Amino acid sequence: MVDVLRLRIDCAYDGSEFHGWARQPHLRTVQGVMEDCICRILHLDREKPPIRLVVAGRTDTGVHASRQTCHLDIEEQTLQRAVGHLTLQPMAALEHRLRHILPADIAIHRISLAPPGFDARFSALERVYVYRVSDSSTTYDPRLRHCVARVEGELDIEAMNSALFHCVGLHDFGSFATPNEGGTTIREVKSLQWHRIGIQDVRASADDISLQRGGLIALTIVADAFAHNMVRSLVQASLQIGLGKRDEGWFIEKLHHPKREGSTGPAAACGLTLERIAYPADEMLAERAERIRARRELPADSD
């Protein structure tokens, strides 16, 4: 009997030069690059890779991840090929080699043996996304152009939060998302809120200087899962409210009538980052995966 291991891979990437996570023919994607590099290390055919990364949250073109999770099923004897001349265990050798051959816009945090029952996608309890915006109330920092969206005008955060409050709970987000084939746009949002990150004091000490401080506005949204374009469409709608172009009543009407009608396309991808995937305790992983898989056997969630 062949021994198969399930590896958990925690990684990060700058999505600027990727056509999203999912492998696509003739396009540069995160999954494609990572699988190709793993195949190279393990001397596998990259044209027909016998391996497949299963991801927690499938991100779209231009969307970033600071903490993405995926898993890989691999035969133990195949993993052994990663060792070569290294004096490391096979899993540590794969992590070491992968860090050295991946491009600069992908980073490996850790490769570990997955606990029994772990499924990167179906075991997840929740996904956390953050959308960052720079409005006219502060000076635009061009160094952040790949991870912060720029908005002309000053945003009314109170009005934006008042509208988005209605999204908390289980709703059909059909006005703000596109379902996968045979899928649904019903999702449970646990929390979402815009806040302004503190403006940096120019007299601050060197220890206080950070690119993440400077008057940016950020939306943090937590849900069990997200439908295609859901986060960025909610962002675009709330930005229109924040700029005074729409009101809360318009937003509520859209939420109560889940039909895509074109007035709220997705906001720029550059501002969106997948920040975290939360999982239950190890003993609950299999139960969680079985329950979610039975409820929603669909292609991977994305935004």
The catalytic residues are: 60
Task: Note the Cα 113 to chain centre separation in Å.
Answer: 22
Of 233, 226, 221, 227, residue with least CA distance to 263: 233
> Apex CA 102: angle with CA 95 and CA 61, to 5°?
120
153 in Cβ contact with 133 (< 8 Å): no
Name the burial class of residue 71, with classes exposed (0-12), middle (13-18) and buried (19+) by CB atoms within 10 angstroms of its CB: buried
> Apex CA 47: angle with CA 46 and CA 48, to 5°?
90
149 in Cβ contact with 133 (< 8 Å): yes
> Apex CA 83: angle with CA 52 and CA 85, to 5°?
145
Of 196, 226, 13, residue with least CA distance to 129: 226
